[in-house]
């Protein structure tokens, strides 16, 4: 799906790409190993070259990623984030020791004080917080096709995008709907 998905603006693209490290349809996971996680975080520019990841951090990253995926699913309806999702985001922020700094222009900046993988995962959480403040967060969604679940940025004017790609998942849904109308006994 990567070639057909819509990129998110600015740093929010890093969060979209992080969610897409697990390709549900293909059954692959780019961060399933310590080397995979550290490599992905380095490539994203949020982890230094010397830091390695641990198996525990791989589990934490996977939990954060799936919590973010649940958040993106909730963005379709504007529903509240599930409690477990909120807990996972807050735990990542705590491990990263995220702090707020007030700026001279009456703004604020959230930054992780922790180094290493915890700090890198905390950076992802601060990007989410920034996107919520900038009101771009609600446009980041996951495909409603349960076999896909690819993260995409909803570029539609009405903010009603459902699929990562109209050409692929949207077309599949329309074909299934057509088949159901033609033969109501077919699932």
How confident is the model over 85-107, as pLDDT tens digits?
A: 999 999 999 999 999 999 999 88
Q: To the nearest whole percent, how much of the chain has pLDDT over 70? A: 85
Model confidence pLDDT, tens digit, residues 159-182: 778 767 556 675 555 555 555 556
Mean pLDDT score across all residues of the chain: 88
User: What is the rounded distance in angstroms from the CA atom of residue 127 to the CA atom of residue 122?
Assistant: 9
- Rounded to two decimals, the pTM is 0.87
| Helix ranges (DSSP H) in the chain | 12-19, 34-43, 55-74, 83-96, 116-134, 171-182
């Amino acid at each position: 799906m990567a070639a057909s998905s819509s990129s998110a603006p600015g740093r929010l693209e890093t969060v979209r790409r992080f969610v897409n490290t697990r390709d549900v349809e293909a059954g692959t996971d780019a961060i399933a190993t310590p080397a995979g996680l550290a490599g992905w975080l380095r490539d994203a520019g949020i982890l230094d070259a010397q830091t390695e990841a641990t198996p525990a951090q791989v589990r934490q990253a996977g939990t954060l990623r799936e919590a973010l995926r649940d958040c993106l699913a909730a963005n379709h309806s504007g529903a509240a984030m599930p409690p477990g999702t909120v807990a996972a985001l807050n735990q990542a922020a705590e491990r990263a020791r995220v702090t707020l700094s007030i700026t001279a222009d009456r703004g604020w900046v959230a930054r992780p004080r922790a180094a290493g993988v915890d700090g890198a995962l905390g950076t992802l959480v601060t990007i989410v917080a920034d996107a919520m403040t900038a009101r771009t967060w609600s446009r980041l969604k996951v495909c409603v096709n349960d076999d896909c679940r690819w993260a995409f940025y909803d570029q539609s004017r009405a903010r009603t995008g459902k699929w990562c790609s109209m050409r692929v998942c949207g077309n599949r849904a329309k074909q299934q709907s057509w088949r159901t109308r033609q033969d109501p006994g077919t699932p």
